[in-house]
Amino acid sequence: MLGCALLALRGAVSWISYASRFYPLCPFHEYLGVLCPGCGATRALAALLHGRVADALRFNALFVLLLPFALFFAIRSYVRVLGPGEFRWPQPPAPAVYATLAVAAAFTLHAM
C-alpha cells in the first residue's frame, strides 16, 4: 500500500516543475521582492521530490536537514495510536522547541 502511494505521489509530481506557476504566489515575495524561507522550503520540497538534493539544499538547507526529523515524528505519532479513533501529537520538550525556533529565526535572518 505504501509503495502504491509513493508511486502515485511520484507520478503526480513528475509533471510539476519547481520553477512552474503551479505553486501559490508568496505575498512576502510579491510585495517586498525578497524570497522568504517558506518559498525556499516549497522549492526545496519540489526539488527533493524530483531527486535534486543539491538544488534542495541550495533553496533551503534548514528545511532539508530537519525533514528527516519531521518525518520520524510524523511516523512515530501515527504509530503511537492510543486506541480506536484516537490520535495524539508527540509533545517535544520545551527546550527543543525553543532551540528549533531560535535556529529557524537565525536562519531566516541570515537568508535575507
CB count in 10 Å sphere of residue 61: 14
In a domain, 99, yes or no: yes
Q: Tally the domains of the chain.
A: 1
In a domain, 10, yes or no: no
**Higher pLDDT among residues 40 and 111, named by residue:** 40
Question: Taking a C-beta distance cutoff of 8 angstroms, is the pair 56, 23 a contact?
Answer: no
- Residues 6 or more apart whose CB falls under 8 angstroms from that of 16 comprise 22, 46
In a domain, 71, yes or no: yes
In a domain, 73, yes or no: yes
Give the domain range for residue 32. 21-111
**Of 32-36, 48-52, 59-63, where does mean pLDDT reach its minimum?**
32-36
The rounded distance, in Å, linking the Cα atoms of 69 and 64 is 10
Mean pLDDT of the chain: 76
For the chain, percent of residues with pLDDT exceeding 70: 66
Predicted structure pTM score: 0.62
Mean pLDDT, to the nearest integer, of 72-96?
Answer: 70
DSSP for 24-93 reads PPPHHHHHH----HHHHHHHHHHHHHTT-HHHHHHH-HHHHHHHHHHHHHHHHHHH---STT--------
In a domain, 43, yes or no: yes
For the segment 95-110, what is each residue's pLDDT rounded down to a tens digit? Answer: 988 998 898 888 877 7
In a domain, 1, yes or no: no
Mean pLDDT, to the nearest integer, of 60-72?
Answer: 87
